[in-house]
Amino acid sequence: MYYKEFDNIETAISSCNEYLNSLEMESELIAGALEKVQDEGAYFQKLKKELGVEDNRAILFKEIDGIEVYFEPSPEALEEVLKKRAEVVEKEIEKCRKVLSILESIREIPWSSNLKVTILMDPSEAKLFFRTR
């Protein structure tokens, strides 16, 4: 979730660019983590066999207060979590790019320097509010 208020459109564009950069960096980190997790499959299978564990999600899995807790999670469980986060990040990147495009278009309006901007963005929606100073 991204929610910020700005005194001018230039600051809004700059902040939105920074947010986009951080999302793109997170996306790259997730991709790297997915590669690593996929490489660890053999280790997990060996450990699971040695311990006689049949659950494919983890050596030990428990739900505590509605939170799933994995001890020595399987690569498949980690991959599932990482893929879900990757989907969320990709949606956020897409929304952020659209918001930036709109902000840059509005910046071309001669009186846009007199606007205050509020941005509300999450993966499912984005809202821009403009007020004159």
Give the model's pLDDT for residue 84: 92
Instruction: Determine the pLDDT at residue 81.
Output: 86
pLDDT score for 58: 62
- Tell me the per-residue pLDDT of 27-74, one tens digit each, with 9 for 90 and over: 999 999 988 887 776 677 776 677 676 666 666 666 778 887 766 667
Least confident range from 15-24, 36-45, 78-87: namely 36-45
Taking phi first (over 0 means left), then psi (-120 to 50 degrees means alpha), and beta for anything else, what does residue 65 get? left
Helices and strands counted in the chain (H then E): 3, 5
* Per-residue pLDDT at 69: 73
For 55, 57, 74, 87, the CA distances from 80, given in Å and listed in that order, are 15, 10, 10, 11
Residue 19: count other Cβ atoms within 10 Å of its Cβ.
19
Residues 6+ apart with CB under 8 A from 100: 13, 16, 17, 20
How far apart are the C-alpha atoms of 58 and 44, rounded to whole Å? 9
69: three-class secondary structure by DSSP: strand
- pLDDT, tens digit (0-9, with 9 covering 90-100), for 93-126: 999 999 999 999 999 999 888 999 999 998 789 9
